[in-house]
């Protein structure tokens, strides 16, 4: 791993001052910004910092590397988040590799529905798979934009927020909060990010589409959960079923549906 600390200065304003000699002069206020870059050579470059610091750091990295290295931004497919929810909530299913989901408590979905608007968000739920607003949104083809919860990696429990645009925020909770040193916190976060990105690449590039997308019965399970909570949905789910029939390459079995 190659690690670097990027520091740059910004100058703001054009202020008039009187110097020690009593002469009027112009000056600018200097501020210092910094971000940390970790190159998990040769596969990943991770930038640690706020969004306002990540973007200029990325531009500097691209400029420094020029045409010698191809750098692509990583974004997560919303269906990958749906797959994580399915594997976490369905008994007998599992997530391959060293990462597991302990709970999913917050999420954000987006789409274009009159009754939901363009975006919906649930926070601090005990289980988003049982959240009626999230179930209704998913059954109407809205897509995940964010997932948050506790993930385990090699025995360490981390609270993480992951967004489809490729931003991963490892929060100060769980093993990160209990870590004795900043170095240990950084190493735990880097381990999670590295393993999570590897998991996503395996899902994206290597999985059979029957494993990559949840079975059609999963959507009926969501509707069953809603029914147990006295919620009835009257909207049409034909487009949703057709979409995942095409993605999985199978035709829906009518016996899969009791609530849709």
User: Do 105 and 146 form a contact (C-beta atoms < 8 A)?
Assistant: no
Q: What gap in Å lies between CA 5 and CA 182, rounded to an integer?
A: 15
Domain locations along the chain: 2-65, 78-210
pLDDT at 41: 76
Q: What tokens appear for 21 in the block?
A: 């000699």
pLDDT at 113: 63
Q: What gap in Å lies between CA 45 and CA 72, rounded to an integer?
A: 10
User: Do 139 and 240 form a contact (C-beta atoms < 8 A)?
Assistant: yes
Integer-rounded Cα radius of gyration of the chain:
23
- Give Cα separations from 220 to 7, 46, 83, 87, 157 (angstroms): 52, 39, 15, 15, 31
Alpha helices in 32-123 (DSSP H): 51-65, 78-89
Q: What gap in Å lies between CA 136 and CA 178, rounded to an integer?
A: 37
pLDDT at 208: 95
Which of 167, 170, 204, 172 shows the shortest CA–CA distance to 190? 170
Q: What gap in Å lies between CA 233 and CA 237, rounded to an integer?
A: 10
3 state SS of 34: strand
Residue range 75-99, pLDDT digits in tens: 999 999 999 999 999 888 999 999 9
Which of 56, 50, 51, 44 shows the shortest CA–CA distance to 3? 44
- Give Cα separations from 49 to 92, 165, 170, 191 (angstroms): 38, 15, 11, 17
User: Do 144 and 108 form a contact (C-beta atoms < 8 A)?
Assistant: yes
Which of 150, 122, 161 shows the shortest CA–CA distance to 138? 122
Strand partners of residue 63: none
pLDDT at 72: 76
Q: What gap in Å lies between CA 179 and CA 181, rounded to an integer?
A: 6
Q: What gap in Å lies between CA 228 and CA 226, rounded to an integer?
A: 5
Name the stretches of the chain with pLDDT < 50: none
DSSP state of 228: H
CA distance from start to end of the chain: 50
């Amino acid at each position: 791993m190659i690690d670097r600390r990027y520091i740059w200065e910004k100058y703001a304003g054009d202020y008039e001052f009187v110097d020690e000699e009593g002469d009027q002069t112009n000056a600018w206020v200097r501020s210092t910004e910094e971000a940390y870059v970790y190159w998990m050579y040769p596969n990943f470059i991770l930038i640690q910092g706020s969004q306002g610091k990540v973007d200029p750091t990325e531009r500097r990295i691209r400029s420094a590397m020029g045409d010698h290295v191809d750098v692509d931004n990583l974004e997560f497919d919303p269906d990958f988040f749906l797959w994580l929810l399915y594997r976490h909530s369905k008994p007998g299913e599992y997530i391959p590799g060293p990462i597991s989901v302990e709970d999913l408590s917050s999420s954000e979905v987006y789409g274009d529905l009159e009754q939901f608007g363009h975006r919906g968000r649930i926070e601090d739920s005990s289980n988003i798979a049982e959240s009626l607003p999230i179930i209704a949104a998913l059954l109407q083809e809205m897509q995940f934009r964010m997932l948050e919860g506790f993930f385990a990696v090699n025995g360490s429990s981390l609270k993480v927020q992951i967004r489809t645009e490729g931003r991963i925020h490892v929060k100060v909770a769980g093993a990160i909060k209990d870590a004795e040193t900043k170095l240990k916190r950084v190493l735990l976060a880097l381990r999670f990010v590295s393993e999570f990105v590897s998991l996503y690449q395996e899902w994206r590039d290597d999985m059979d589409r029957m494993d990559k997308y949840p079975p059609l019965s999963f959507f009926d399970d969501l509707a069953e959960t809603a029914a147990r909570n006295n919620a009835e949905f009257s909207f049409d789910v034909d487009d949703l079923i057709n979409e995942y029939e095409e993605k999985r390459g199978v035709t829906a079995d009518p016996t899969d549906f009791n609530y849709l």
